[in-house]
Structure 1
Amino acid sequence: MTGPLRPAFGEGQVLAAADLTATVEHARTTAARHARYLHEWGIVEGLALVTAPRTDPLSGARFVEVTVSAGLAVDGTGRELLVPRPVVLREADFEAVNGAAPTADPYPVFLAAVDRDPGGPARPDACGTPAVRTRVEESYQILFGRLGDERLVAGQQPPPVDAASADPPVRWLVLLGYVRWADGHFTGVTTDARRVGLRHAGVRADVVAAQSGTLTLRTSASEGKPAVVLSGEDPPSLVFGLYQGNGGVDPLLTVAANGNLSIKGSFAGRMSVGSVLVTSGTATDGMLLPLPDGVTAQEVADGRAVLHVQVTPRIPPVTGMQLHSAAEAGVDADRRVRCRIRTYDLQTAPPEIAERPGAVEFLVLAAVAATNGGD
């Protein structure tokens, strides 16, 4: 078994068409193998199903015109599929596959590679020999599938590792989305149906290293989308936040090199046995005391978390001849505050006594109870 054969030439050598073709094929096969094994196949850019509202001039029914936007994909053989300009989907092509009266379910739309004759005059191969084509257009075709054909995508198998570029190309389906159909027209699009969605191109790598010392991962180039920054600068840090239009990241969570964790929001998670979560504040009569972050009402109800509540009435200061005391300060079984402040007016004889709603300082502790099965 030999490895790939790279064409080599010498001075004065007469080059045949096969020699030049072998040069091109060596480069094509190398590029396809790289795309096949160092990357995950799928949509690279664009290729969205875009709708525009339309009205049927005969029936007056509303429908949509569906266009595949310009873009690029790489299929599982390593072949690039370039759609240089937007393409309007033809309703006649859909009817040819699914008939004129299909169901209301979404139908898949695929992109596949195809080689075409670019047209133009052919050139003679040599004096007295028939003219031959000297160019091949690496084109594409947009295909409609039947219901359930989207499952064919997962069953596609890449060619062997030593396979050369195929001519014509192997038919590999790249899912672009789904269209809906009613009364002879497209009525809508979607990117997911029957648990099969779009697949976008990716990278296969066990190690990713940043030349600048900072590695950024983001879900989108749009502002406000999640991003992660791993910085090797002094001091090192790991930051999760929202991507900003200027290229930076607004940090929401930061892990420092010493293990310190800083977050902008609250922290919630599964509590381990013996842990205690706390919340505190001020509440007035009739208010429901909050639970500590990370504790749910269901956990309290079924005994997984045990609450300890302490309330201290806020007694107003003495004003003139008025004295104040707590007539009631506590919480009921629903954690609702019961607080009444009693006021004694010593300017009258006998002293006038009045009650009004009051406020308390509260402390709520939630302890995780041990169970027979541990935590």
Structure 2
Amino acid sequence: MTGPLRPEFREGQVLAAADLAATVAYARATAVRHARLAHDWGIADGLALTTESRTDPATGARYVEVSVQAGLAVDGTGRELVVPAPVVLSEADFAAVNGADRATTEPYPVFLTAADRGRPATGPASCAGSSGPTRVEESFQVLFRRLGDERLVADQQPPAVNAAPAAPPVQWLVLLGFVQWTAGHFTAAFPTARGVGPRYLGVRADTVSARSGSLALRTRPAVQEGKPALVLSDADAPTLVYGLYKGTGVVDPLLTVESNGNLTIAGSFSGRISAGSVLATSGSATDGVVLPLPAGVTPEEVADGRVSLHVHVTPRIPSTATGSALTSPAEATVDGDRRVRCRIRVYDPTAAPAQVFEQPGVVDFLVLATVAATGGGG
């Protein structure tokens, strides 16, 4: 088993074509191994499908002209696919693959793949009389496939670690998007369909470091207002901030972790409560109302005993319209469904005859949710 072979030269050596080709091949192999093994393959920049409205002069029907925008992708073999300028998709090429299908609104996948094209020799003919190409254009080809073939992307297997740079006819499919076909024309383009979309270039690393003292992780290549970002910084004091970009490009913090461990959040906190903790909620409720659970506590946790509830209610004694009536609480309880039962007894001694009646009342409540602390390791 041998490793990569690096060409070496010496004074007076007669260089054959194979020697020069080996120099180029060594550099190519180094580059593709890095791209294949240190990165996840996919689209690096551009290559979006865009549309322009058109009208069929024969039928007057409206359709769209679909183009692949300029950009760069790296396929799973480590090869760069460079599209230097926008390319209009060929309706004839699409019809040759899918034109016989029954009419459907389902979008068809569009792929990009590598293609080598030899270029003729330049300059005077060689002594050996060879007239073969002296340049190879590392070009590309846009392919149309059948409905559902977008799933083939996930089945592609990269070459071995020590494999030489792959050359056509080895084909690696890079999904660009989808097109809709109606009555002999493209009528729409979509970035995703059937839960599948383009794959974008990634990096494989256990350490990512910043030279400026601030490292930002965001969901878009450019800063956009309202989009999320995670910023790790040691500019003034070490902090970790999650928030949304403002129009000025500054992150508006929603969650901040300071160097001393203090946590500051702009919204509410919810989630499963940990052992030994207590959550509470309070307020007022009328007779017949079901008391709410503290935020972060679910009815299922209460039902299966993971969380214990402690409820305290205090009846409110309402003021009366006249000073002669006397009021007192007749009942202030909560049943197993957390439903309030509150009755207020009213006695008016000045009425003829004296009246005693009950009416619905209001309670102030406090609900505590607790989880027992484990003793030693449970």
Normalising by the smaller structure, the TM-score range is 0.7 to 0.9
Q: Which residue of 2 aligns with 1:28?
A: 28
Q: Report how far residue 167 of structure 1 moved.
A: 4.1
Note the alpha carbon deviations across 1:129-174, whole angstroms, 9 max, x for none.
3555333221111101112322322222222222222444631111
SS in 2 for 1:154: helix
Q: Which amino acid aligns with 1:69?
A: Q
1:105 corresponds to 2:113: no
Change (3 A) 1:203 1:128: closer
| 1:217 aligned partner, one-letter code | L
8 Å CA contact 1:277–1:365 kept in 2: the answer is: yes
- Partner in structure 2 of residue 49 of structure 1: 49
TM-score, length basis structure 1 = 0.77
Alignment partners' CA distance in 2, 1:256 and 1:341 = 52
Q: CA deviation at 1:322?
A: 10
For the Cα contact (< 8 Å) 2:77–2:166, is it kept in 1?
Answer: no
The answer on whether the counterparts of 2:327 and 2:345 sit within 8 Å (CA) in structure 1 is yes
- Structure 2 distance, partners of 1:324, 1:135, is 105
Distance 1:299 1:320, change over 3 A: same
**Aligned 8 A contact 2:344 2:359 in 1:** yes
Q: Could you tell me which residue of structure 2 aligns to residue 279 of structure 1?
A: 281
Are the structure 2 counterparts of residues 322 and 207 from structure 1 closer, same or farther at C-alpha, using a change threshold of 3 Å? farther
Q: Partners in 2 of 1:362 and 1:58 — Cα distance?
A: 76
Aligned to 2:351: none
Distance 1:70 1:333 in 2: 66
3-state DSSP class of the match of 2:135? coil
Q: CA deviation at 1:109?
A: 1.3
Secondary structure of 2:3's counterpart equals coil
**Which residue number in structure 2 is paired with residue 296 of structure 1?**
298
Query: CA-to-partner distance for each residue in 1:306-331, whole Å, 9 max, x for gaps?
Result: 54333446678999989996768777
1:254 paired residue among 224, 244, 256:
256
Distance 1:320 1:80, change over 3 A: same
CA distance in 2, matches of 1:314, 1:128: 109
- Structure 2: 5+ residue runs without aligned partners? 349-355
User: Which residue number in structure 2 is paired with residue 73 of structure 1?
Assistant: 73
The 1:36–1:311 alpha-carbon spacing in structure 2 relative to 1, beyond 3 Å, is same
Question: Contact 1:300/1:306 (CA < 8 Å) preserved in 2?
Answer: yes
| 1:111-142 CA-partner distances (Å, limit 9, x unpaired) | 101112457x8432436835553332211111
Contact 1:175/1:198 (CA < 8 Å) preserved in 2? yes
Q: Is the 8 A contact 1:214 1:230 kept in 2?
A: yes
Q: Deviations over 1:264-322 (max 9, x none)?
A: 22222223566432123456788765432112355556665454333446678999989
CA distance in 1, matches of 2:326, 2:129: 116
Using the TM superposition, give the Cα deviation of residue 98 of structure 1 relative to its aligned residue in structure 2, in angstroms: 1.7
Secondary structure of the residue that 1:267 maps to in structure 2? coil
2:20 is paired with a residue of what secondary structure? helix
Range 33-42 or range 86-95, more displaced: 86-95
Letter matched to residue 107 of structure 1: Y
1:265 corresponds to which residue?
A: 267
- 1:329-368 maps to which residues of 2 (within 5 A)? 361-367=364-370
Instruction: Measure how far apart 1:192 and its partner are.
Output: 3.8
What residue identity is the alignment partner of 1:199? Answer: R
In the alignment, the residues of structure 2 paired with residue 62 and residue 226 of structure 1 have an alpha-carbon distance, to the nearest angstrom, of: 39
Percent identical: 67
Q: Which residue of 1 aligns with 2:183?
A: 183
Shift of 1:339: 7.7
- Range with bigger deviation, 282-291 or 159-168: 282-291
The within-5 A match list for 1:1-375 is 1-10=1-10, 15-102=15-102, 103-117=104-118, 122-126=122-126, 129=129, 131-168=131-168, 170-221=170-221, 222-232=224-234, 235-244=237-246, 248-272=250-274, 275-281=277-283, 289-297=291-299, 299-300=301-302, 305-312=307-314, 361-367=364-370
> How far 1:365 moved relative to its partner?
1.9
Measured in 2, the distance between the counterparts of 1:51 and 1:361 equals 62
Whether the 8 Å CA contact 2:228–2:245 is kept in 1: the answer is yes
Deviations 1:80-101 (A, max 9, x none): 1111222222222111112243
The SS at the match of 1:153 is helix
Deviation at 1:62, TM superposition (A): 4.4
Counterpart amino acid of 2:114?
A
2:12, 2:4 → 1: CA distance?
A: 25
* Alpha-carbon distance change, 172 to 315 in structure 1, aligned in 2, over 3 angstroms: same
Match for 1:363: what amino acid?
A: L
Distance 2:235 2:52 in 1: 49
Instruction: Report the more deviating stretch, 80-89 or 33-42.
Output: 80-89
In structure 2, distance between residues paired with 1:143 and 1:54: 22
Kept in 1: contact 2:119–2:134 (CA 8 A): no
The alignment of Structure 1 onto Structure 2 pairs a total of residues equal to: 370
> How big is the shift at 1:52?
3.8
- Take 1:161 and 1:335, find their aligned partners in 2: how far apart are those partners? 64
Rate the CA distance shift 1:59–1:305 in 2: closer, same or farther, 3 A: farther
Q: RMSD across aligned C-alpha pairs, in angstroms?
A: 4.2
Counterpart of 2:273 in 1: which secondary structure? coil
Q: Distance in 2 between matches of 1:73 and 1:309?
A: 61
The separation in 2 between residues aligned to 1:161 and 1:106, in whole angstroms, is 36
Change (3 A) 1:342 1:158: same
- Residues 20, 198 of structure 1: CA spacing in aligned structure 2 closer, same or farther, 3 A cutoff? same
Contiguous gaps of at least 5 residues in structure 1: 346-352
Q: Is the 1:107–1:180 Cα contact (8 Å) retained in structure 2?
A: yes
How far apart, in 2, do the equivalents of 1:223 and 1:117 lie? 47
Deviates more, 1:295-304 or 1:88-97: 295-304
**How high is the TM-score relative to the length of structure 2?**
0.77
Give, in whole Å, the separation in 2 of the partners of 1:24 and 1:325: 99
